Chain A
Amino acid sequence: MTTKALSGINFRANNLEALDNLEKNSIDFYASVRSLYLQDRQQKIANSNAITETQNDSDWEEIETQ
């Protein structure tokens, strides 16, 4: 439990500038962080670094046909 909390604090400290930048340039900071967290999790579950395997192409194809 303590380790988890400490790793959270450590993550925030290491990424302070990136998080500040994200907060300043987001119109919904909470939704941005949630999206980034879920994408990261999805990538870890897929256990793959190959971009072509983790990105969803169907959303992109959809805009061609509308």
Chain B
Amino acid sequence: MRLKKFLIFTFVIINFVGINQSYSIEPDVFVQSTVNRASEALNNKYSKEEKIEKLKQIASETVDINGIGYYTLGAYRKNISDNEINQYEMLFEQYFLKSFSSRLAEYSNPEIEVVSKKKLNENYTMVSSILVGTEQRPEVKIDWRIYTKNPEKPLIRDLIIEGLSLARTQKEEFSSIIQSNDGDINALFSILKEFIK
């Protein structure tokens, strides 16, 4: 009887401690595990369509798509209505997932090694990695901007390939479209809709 009570007590304590413990994930470990998942998805045993589906799933769990969307829209975000913001969020997510997965699906079995990390501030850590070179292509340096506001759920906000930021390229692309249409956000919406089709 005493043993039973003791076991119940221990069980309760373990559960209580377990529930209250917070698990922060180190940004470099997060990047390595994301890369490993993506490498698996790019294995040649899958068809191109399967690869794209798997990559979309990984991206929606590990990338801060809304955050990147706001960054990409930049200052234009202040001048549009809530309704337009909602429409933008929806279109951007679909655009991002399609563009990201079809860019990556053309690679097979990429080998990425995480090298180091540098904490920029409470919100961001930069993780540096190397895409190992093969006979066909040279080694490529890839840096990851990781958003760490919630240390238990780090998220990717940018990929910087050989010093070239994908988020910044995308931001300048969006801004060019809006500018060449006299600041009309609807022009961007229709181009995004066309891309998603």
Footprint of B on A, CB under 8 Å?
Answer: 17, 21, 24-28, 30-32, 34-36, 39-40, 43, 49, 51-52, 54-57, 59-61, 63-64, 66
Number of interface residues of B (CB under 8 A): 37
Chain A neighbourhood of B168, CB < 8 A: 35, 39, 56, 59
Does any Cβ of A come within 8 Å of B74's Cβ? yes
One of B74, B123, B143 near A59 (C-beta < 8 A): B74
Q: Are A31 and B172 in contact (CB under 8 A)?
A: yes
Complex: A60 Cα to B177 Cα, angstroms: 21
Complex: A30 Cα to B189 Cα, angstroms: 19
Chain B neighbourhood of A28, CB < 8 A: 173, 176-177, 191
Q: Are A63 and B169 in contact (CB under 8 A)?
A: no
Given A63-B70, A63-B71, A66-B70, do A32 and B103 touch, yes or no (CB 8 Å)? no
Does any Cβ of A come within 8 Å of B65's Cβ? no
